[in-house]
């Protein structure tokens, strides 16, 4: 008979924690899981899923004019946020129910409460202490606000799905993938979007050529992008805080310009006066902070039992997701390794293999395909050109063009296909696609890159014509070497 209440206690009901709990329970382990918010975690409730549904919603805006170019007699439609929002939350509720049903069906005991670590084998939950042979921390992360006065006036990505109404004007602070995705989404839904980013170019860490093209396309769709710019001050708009000078239409709602009316046009609060580090002053209906995420370890009791936390509060683990306390493991965003839902799920599976199946399985974080759901999308796998040329001699194959579908409709949109090739081994070191549905394309290209395909393997593959993706296998001559 076991000396513990459970073989495994999982803290966190996101995708990684739920998968680990289900698989361990299916193998015969006695498992409990605690989630203080909603089952599904960031991805299902506050991230990937609702964001992608908003991407779909925003993509229809251009469709009306494109349809007319193809002979359809259609008029521009009007987006109704309450209709979409109701359907969105119905879908999220459905998915949460699916997660609960899967856990129940696997025999996992669910605690809809906050749990903390009270010892190497002890969890505190619902005012009780429960013991477990193994504890898995899968508490994810949360968006952060900057440390500045009145930062509470702004919203974060979690708040976007619960707005009472869409704002007329929105300022996005940040230049990472979350900031850029929501800037494109909101612009696609008809919001006048301004974006401040303190760096020289958005999407730091991604391929420079891809970053540049995405920035150009974002500006083409009306996003007022200010690089080398950050927020300096913010306050409730009013008599003491009105913009000095003329704001552009993208920076201030037309009603505020014409009448001085500072009542909000949407959202759950009043308008906000903002002064940038470049001295500009504007009033926005909403300010969205997309300036990073923080691992959810605060108040968890982890350091008290000997678990080491990193500079940003992340749980430090080895290649098997084990902490310095042998009975405690951690997976997903709380470890701040590769913060992607499929990676958290893989880490959860590797944990079960290691701990419950007697098959020590390190997590493979190499050559992970990913997508940024901007307009257009960006799909990437492997090294950027900049990282690759620092590593070894390379050839760069790249093409940028106007795709047939939107070119016919008279749209200025451009796409890009890019391969980074090792001169020595001929292997594809990196693949970068900026195009509609790039996320779908990179999943398939990622298989080839993960298998170690060479440029000649791509060359031998017959093109599918006419498609955008055929360019991946028809680029014969490098545009540069390094």
Please write down the HEC assignment for all residues of the chain. CCCCCEEEEEECCEHHHHHHHHHHHHCCCCEEEECCCCCEHHHHHHCHHHHHHHHHHHHCCCHHHHHHHCCCCCCCCCCCHHHHHHHHHHHHHHHHHHHHHHHHHHCCEEECCCEEEEECCEEEECCEEEEEEEEEECCCEEECCCCCCCHHHCEEHHHHCCCCCCCCEEEEECCCHHHHHHHHHHHHCCCEEEEEECCCCCCCCCCHHHHHHHHHHHHHCCCEEEECCCEEEEEECECCECCCCCCCCCCCCHHHHHHCCCCCCCCCCCCEEEEECCCCEEEECEEEECCCEEECCCCCCCHHHCCCECCCCCECCCCCCECCCCCEEECHHHHCCCCCHHHHHHHHHHHHHHHCCCCCCCCCCCCCCEEECCCCEEEEEECCHHHHHHHCCEEEEEEEECCHHHHHCCCCCCEEEEEEEECCCCEEEEEEEEECCHHHHHHHHHHHHHCCCEHHHHHHCCCCCCCCHHHHHCCCCCCEEC
Q: Which residues are catalytic?
A: 465
Binding residues for FAD: 52, 333
Residue list, annotated binding site: 52, 174-181, 292, 333
Binding residues for NAD(+): 174-181, 292
């Amino acid at each position: 008979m076991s000396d513990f209440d459970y073989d495994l206690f999982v803290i966190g009901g996101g995708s990684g924690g739920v998968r680990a709990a289900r698989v361990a329970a299916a193998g015969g382990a006695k498992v409990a899981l605690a989630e203080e918010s909603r089952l599904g975690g960031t991805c299902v409730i506050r991230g990937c899923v609702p964001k992608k549904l908003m991407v779909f919603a925003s993509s229809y805006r251009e469709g009306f004019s494109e349809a007319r170019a193809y002979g359809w007699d259609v008029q521009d439609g009007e987006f109704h946020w309450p209709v979409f929002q109701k359907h969105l939350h119905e879908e999220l509720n459905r998915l949460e129910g699916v997660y609960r049903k899967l856990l129940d069906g696997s025999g996992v005991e669910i605690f809809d409460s906050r749990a903390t670590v009270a010892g190497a084998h002890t969890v505190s939950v619902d005012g009780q202490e429960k013991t477990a042979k193994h504890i898995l921390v899968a508490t994810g992360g949360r968006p952060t606000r900057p440390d500045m006065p009145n930062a509470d006036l702004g919203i974060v990505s979690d708040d976007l799905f619960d707005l009472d109404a869409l704002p007329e004007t929105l300022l996005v602070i940040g230049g990472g993938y979350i900031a850029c995705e929501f800037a494109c989404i909101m612009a696609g839904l008809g919001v006048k979007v301004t974006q401040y980013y303190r760096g020289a170019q958005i999407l730091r860490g991604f391929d420079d050529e891809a970053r540049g093209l995405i920035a150009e396309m974002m500006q083409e769709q009306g996003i007022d992008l200010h690089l080398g710019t950050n927020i300096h001050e913010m306050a409730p708009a009013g008599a003491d805080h009105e913009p000095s000078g003329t704001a552009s239409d993208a920076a201030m709602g037309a009603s505020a310009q014409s009448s001085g009316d500072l009542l909000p046009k949407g959202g759950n609060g009043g308008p906000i006066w903002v002064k940038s580090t470049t001295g500009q002053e504007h009033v926005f209906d909403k300010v969205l902070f997309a300036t990073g995420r923080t691992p959810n370890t605060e108040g968890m009791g982890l350091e008290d039992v000997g678990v080491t936390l990193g500079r940003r509060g992340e749980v430090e683990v080895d290649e098997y997701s084990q902490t310095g306390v042998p009975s405690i493991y951690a997976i997903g965003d709380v470890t701040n390794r590769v913060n992607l839902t499929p990676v958290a799920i893989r880490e959860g599976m590797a944990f079960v293999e290691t701990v419950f199946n007697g098959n020590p399985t390190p997590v493979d974080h190499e050559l992970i395909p990913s997508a940024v759901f901007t307009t257009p999308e960006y799909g990437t796998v492997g090294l950027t050109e900049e990282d690759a040329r620092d590593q070894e001699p390379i050839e760069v194959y790249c093409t940028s063009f106007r795709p047939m579908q939107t070119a016919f409709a008279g749209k200025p949109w451009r796409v890009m296909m890019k391969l980074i090739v090792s001169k020595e081994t001929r292997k594809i070191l990196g693949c970068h696609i900026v195009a509609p549905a790039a996320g779908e394309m990179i999943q398939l290209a990622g298989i080839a890159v993960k298998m170690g395909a060479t440029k000649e393997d791509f060359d031998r593959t017959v093109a599918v014509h006419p498609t955008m993706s055929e360019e991946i296998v028809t680029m014969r001559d490098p545009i540069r070497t390094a």
